């Protein structure tokens, strides 16, 4: 198979042509892996996939992640637990009411994040496939955390070099005022400590690792840590680091959760929007030591 890559942004992202997603193979996965190391986001257009086909393609990249489903026990109308129903559609197939949990999930996806950054192993690739797209809005944006890190001044790079950040699955939900979780449930939710600056396995480049689950900086007061996280996020999501994908049904976008952030954009929740996400697991990392309290 000979793949062609057309860059979509000056730092990252490419459109790939010359492949058939319904014929996964170890060779194709290896070729995509090589391209992902460089581009971090790949766009494939015009390939409507069944749920079975999306699962088979994703599985050629390794074990799959359950993401938020691990903690939400959500019932799914899709055929596989490992397919996330990224839609505003209720269990019976109708457009969900404004008060439905699914709408909260949609809103939470509109904050910059890295999928499953709250667990170890975290997510490696997410693959989002468009089925029904509303007439207006509902694009998805991606931000390049390697280019954003490179663009920091040397003093800031030195200042943040050894910091550790706690990622907590409900942090973004709490920020949105979605707080109806029992104490037991909150205590059982995963949290993990990650270096704020990490090295990307496949390119050896340094990058920021932040986003909606980043809840505190280890060893710093809550306000000081949160302000630093918010300053870094503001820096890293400036337009020069962002690619916006306008969806067509049949698109598949693959992104590397290690070195990019993404967010959905607003759309009219009374208009149907249906995408399906499958996600592969990254490796398990050694657990860093917390700073002394
Ligand atoms: C996701 C996600 C954003 C969107 O599927 O992980 O964050 O635009 N989606 O739906
Ligand atoms: Mn996401």
Residues in contact with ligand 1 (CB, 6 Å cut-off): 86, 109, 115, 126, 128, 140, 262, 264, 275, 277
- Asked if 45 contacts 250 with a C-beta cutoff of 8 angstroms, the reply is yes
pTM of the model: 0.97
Per-residue pLDDT reduced to its tens digit, 105-116: 999 999 999 999
Which residue's CA is the closest to the ligand 1 atom numbered 7?
Answer: 109
Counting from 1 in the atom list of ligand 1, the atom nearest the Cα of 265 is 8
Per-residue pLDDT reduced to its tens digit, 53-87: 999 999 999 999 987 666 666 678 999 999 999 99
DSSP output for 59-81 = HTTSPBP-TTHHHH----SSS-T
User: 108 CA distance to ligand 1 centroid (A)?
Assistant: 9
- CA dihedral of residues 105, 12, 38, 151 (deg, nearest 10): -100
- Cα–Cα dist 17/5, whole Å: 7
> pLDDT tens digits for the chain (293 residues)?
689 999 999 999 999 999 999 999 999 999 999 999 999 999 999 999 999 999 999 999 999 998 766 666 667 899 999 999 999 999 999 999 998 989 999 999 999 999 999 999 999 999 999 999 999 999 999 999 999 999 999 999 999 999 999 999 999 999 999 999 999 999 989 899 999 999 999 999 999 999 999 999 999 999 999 999 999 999 999 999 999 999 999 999 999 999 999 999 999 999 999 999 999 999 999 988 887 66
Helix/strand/coil for 177: coil
User: 276 CA distance to ligand 1 centroid (A)?
Assistant: 9
Assign domain 4-281 to a CATH class: alpha beta
Which residue out of 65, 83, 109, 211 has the highest number of ligand 1 atoms within 8 Å of its CB and is therefore the one to mutate? 109
- Asked if 258 contacts 36 with a C-beta cutoff of 8 angstroms, the reply is no
Instruction: Annotate 26-45 with b (16+ C-beta within 10 A) or e (fewer).
Output: eebbebbeeebbebbbbbbe
User: 217 CA distance to ligand 2 centroid (A)?
Assistant: 22
User: 127 CA distance to ligand 2 centroid (A)?
Assistant: 10
**For the chain, how long is the longest CA-to-CA vector?**
55
**Strand locations in the chain (E):** 4-7, 14-17, 41-44, 84-87, 123-132, 140-144, 164-168, 191-195, 197-199, 206-208, 214-217, 242-245, 252-256, 260-264, 274-281
């Amino acid at each position: 198979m000979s793949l062609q890559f057309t860059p979509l942004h000056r730092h990252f992202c490419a459109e790939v042509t010359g492949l058939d997603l319904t014929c996964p193979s170890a060779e194709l996965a290896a070729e995509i892996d090589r391209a992902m190391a460089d581009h971090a986001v790949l766009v494939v257009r015009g390939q409507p996939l069944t749920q079975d086909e999306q699962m088979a393609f994703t599985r050629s990249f390794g074990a799959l992640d359950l993401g938020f489903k691990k903690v939400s026990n959500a019932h799914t109308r899709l055929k596989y637990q490992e397919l996330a129903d990224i839609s505003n559609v209720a269990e019976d197939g109708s457009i969900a009411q404004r008060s439905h949990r699914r709408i909260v999930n949609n809103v939470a996806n509109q904050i910059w994040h890295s999928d499953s950054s709250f667990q170890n192993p975290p997510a490696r690739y997410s693959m989002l496939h468009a089925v029904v797209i509303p007439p207006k809005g509902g694009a998805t944006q991606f931000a390049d955390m390697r280019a954003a890190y490179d663009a920091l001044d040397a003093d800031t790079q030195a200042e943040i070099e050894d910091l550790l950040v706690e990622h907590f699955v409900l942090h973004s939900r709490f920020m949105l005022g979605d707080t109806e979780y029992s104490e037991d449930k909150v205590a059982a939710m995963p949290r993990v400590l990650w270096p704020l600056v990490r090295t990307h396995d496949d390119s050896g480049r340094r990058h920021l690792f932040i986003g909606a689950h980043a809840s505190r900086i280890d060893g710093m007061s809550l306000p000081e840590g949160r302000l630093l996280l918010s300053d870094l996020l503001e820096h890293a999501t400036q337009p020069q680091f962002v690619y916006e994908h306008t969806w067509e049904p049949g698109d598949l976008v693959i992104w590397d959760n290690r070195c990019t952030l993404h967010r959905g954009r607003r759309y009219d929740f009374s208009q149907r929007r249906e995408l399906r996400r499958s996600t592969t697991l990254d490796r398990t990392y050694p657990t860093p030591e917390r700073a002394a309290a």
